[in-house]
Amino acid sequence: MKSNLAEKRDYVSSTNACKACMSLGACIAFKGIEGCVPFLHGSQGCATYMRRYLISHFREPVDIASSSLGENDAVFGGGPNLKQGLVNMINKYQAKAVGIATTCLTETIGDNVPAIVREFLKEAKVEGADGKMPALIQASTPSYAATHMEGFHAAVKATVAQLAKPVARHGGVNILPGFVSPADIRYLLEVAKDFGLSATLLPDYSRPLDAPASTSYEILPSGGTPLADIKKMGGAAATLSFGWTPDSQGAGRDLQERCGVCLHSLGLPIGLRRSDAMFEALETVSKRPVPARHADERGRLLDAMVDGHKYLSGQRAVVYGEQDMVIGLASFLAEVGVQPVLCVSGGRSAGFRENIEKVTEGLVREPVMAEAGVDFYRIAELSRELKPDFMVGNSKGYVVARELDIPLVRVGFPIHDRFGGPRLHHLGYRGAQELYDRVVNALIEKKQNDSSVGYGYI
């Protein structure tokens, strides 16, 4: 694309952001720890807004506590409110862990949360689950520093740094998948089990944020990565860590440096080649071949890729969302014959363009335009010029897809305008199969609807 489009946008305002804020990501990650209640140190609104945003996607209760700072607290410091809030919440929720994330407000007034927490641990007489003081995990997540994705990784890294200590080797494997769907998490645990591996997957919100119907409102949803397992992550034989962005590898690197756990940095296993890489890593770690049913799933995926290749050949896609998700999707789309014409993200982590280039190299007919730090105004502007056949991304791109009258294949987060977002599956052969079917069907549906014939076979 050699038009003036490729030039950097020249405006500072954001219109329809393609990102959310750091604290939100931290809350999601903390929901994936056993008995953990996310706790935002800031004004009441942050917690409420994020709860609403998450509930609309997960359709599950998402309790997030807040230190509910008022005007005086902003002047004199939020320490007393944070401590009082912790006492109140721990007593009521009987929490096993508390994930404390900061906000713009408390970072700007300069509250020293680690120091406040140290004081709290000395002074407080509270009883969480089993009469014990819960594990207090703290992450620094001001909205102005980065996106929800970096906030998610900050919380995972903080959890590992603060809870996992060097321990005796136990031969298990750590899986740090990044921000994937509950369906993806369940799949990864199943795959690990099929390889005979004892896996600690962090964070595991597959149950807390996608829970079966139960007889009551669970105050502390069951599930989540067991605290005892997190403490032993330093003794694992290996860590499989997904993602290309530097932050996605933070916790894995920490485990490698502090505890000597061998790190396999894998990128997000979306599509055939990235899934192959994950299965190869699992073969290496488990010293077992790929179990038959997963080999079959790979075979079926390949078979489908052949059956459907003409529906996709040369189709042009705009892909947007979190950086790692976009890189993974670009890799998948390129290998099934789609030309990703534009890959964009609201995040600004390093290496985005290079990784897009790397994963699509040799498979696409024209270079892929990639841009980090964009909003949907920019995405619309570029898409109007590029005239894609379809878009792949979260719900928030619907405005653009609607304007261009093209299908939007919804993936990732947030899914606010469709049902079943948490059950969308992206990873591994099975995830690629689902994605593949959905992409092909979206294009067929468009063709069928636009046709005056009303074809019964397509």
Partner 1 sequence: MSRLIFEERKDQFFETGGDKPFRISCDKQSLAGAVSQRACVFCGSRVVLYPIADALHLIHGPIGCASYTWDIRGALSSGPELHRYSFSTDLGETDVIFGGEGKLTRALDELIPRHHPKAAFVYSTCIVGLIGDDLQAVCNKASERHGIPVIPVMSEGFKGNKRAGYYAACNAMFQLVGTGDTRDIPPMSVNLLGDFNLAGEIWIIREYLERMGITVVANVTGDGRVADLRRAHGAALNLVQCSGSTMELAKMMQETYGTPFLRVSYLGADDMAQALYDVADFFKSQSAMEKAQELVREELAKIYPRLKELRKDLEGKRAALYVGGAFKAFSLIKAFRLLGMKVMLAGSQTGTQEDYEELAAICEPGTVIVDDANPLELMTYLIEKDVDVFVGGVKERPIAYKLGIGFCDHNHERKLALEGFVGMLNFAEEIHATAMSPVWRFTPRRALPELEEAAA
Handedness of CA 202, 49, 90, 135 (dihedral sign): positive
Contact 308, 340 (CB under 8 A): no
Q: Nearer to partner 1 by C-beta: 11 or 455? A: 11
Q: Nearer to partner 1 by C-beta: 64 or 117? A: 64
Positions in 105-124 near partner 1 (CB under 8 A): 105, 108-109
Q: Nearer to partner 1 by C-beta: 79 or 234? A: 79
Figure out which of the listed residues 29, 33, 36, 65 binds partner 1, where binding follows CB under 8 A.
65
52 binds partner 1 (CB under 8 A): yes
168 binds partner 1 (CB under 8 A): no
CA distance 393 to 321: 6
Q: Nearer to partner 1 by C-beta: 42 or 223? A: 42
Contact 156, 251 (CB under 8 A): yes
Residue 177 CB, shortest distance to partner 1, in Å, is 23
Figure out which of the listed residues 5, 77, 84, 316 binds partner 1, where binding follows CB under 8 A.
84
193 binds partner 1 (CB under 8 A): no
Which residue bears the tokens 């799949």? 187
11 binds partner 1 (CB under 8 A): yes
380 binds partner 1 (CB under 8 A): no
Contact 177, 139 (CB under 8 A): no
215 binds partner 1 (CB under 8 A): yes
219 binds partner 1 (CB under 8 A): yes
Positions in 396-455 near partner 1 (CB under 8 A): 396
Residue 51 CB, shortest distance to partner 1, in Å, is 6
Compute and round to an integer the Cα radius of gyration of the chain: 22
**CB neighbours (10 Å) of residue 187?**
21
Q: 320: which strand partners? A: 344
66 binds partner 1 (CB under 8 A): yes
> Which residue stretch of 45-53, 173-181, 288-296, 354-362 sits at the interface with partner 1 (rule: CB under 8 A)?
45-53
45 binds partner 1 (CB under 8 A): yes
Positions in 234-273 near partner 1 (CB under 8 A): none
List alpha helices for 132-287, DSSP H. 148-163, 182-194, 227-231, 250-259, 271-286
Residue 210 CB, shortest distance to partner 1, in Å, is 12
- Peptide bond connecting 134 to the previous residue in cis, omega within 30 degrees of 0: no
Q: Nearer to partner 1 by C-beta: 20 or 439? A: 20
Residue 351 CB, shortest distance to partner 1, in Å, is 19
> Which residue stretch of 104-112, 190-198, 323-331, 422-430 sits at the interface with partner 1 (rule: CB under 8 A)?
104-112
Q: Nearer to partner 1 by C-beta: 101 or 336? A: 101
The strands making up 65-66's β-sheet, listed across from edge to edge, are 65-66, 36-41, 97-102, 135-139
Distance set, CA 391 to CA 39, 260, 319, 320, 431 (Å)? 35, 42, 6, 8, 18
Distance set, CA 125 to CA 39, 122, 390 (Å)? 19, 9, 57
> Which residue stretch of 65-73, 160-168, 251-259, 275-283 sits at the interface with partner 1 (rule: CB under 8 A)?
65-73
Residue 382: helix, strand or coil by DSSP? helix
The strands making up 262-265's β-sheet, listed across from edge to edge, are 199-201, 173-176, 238-241, 262-265
Positions in 122-161 near partner 1 (CB under 8 A): 142-145, 147
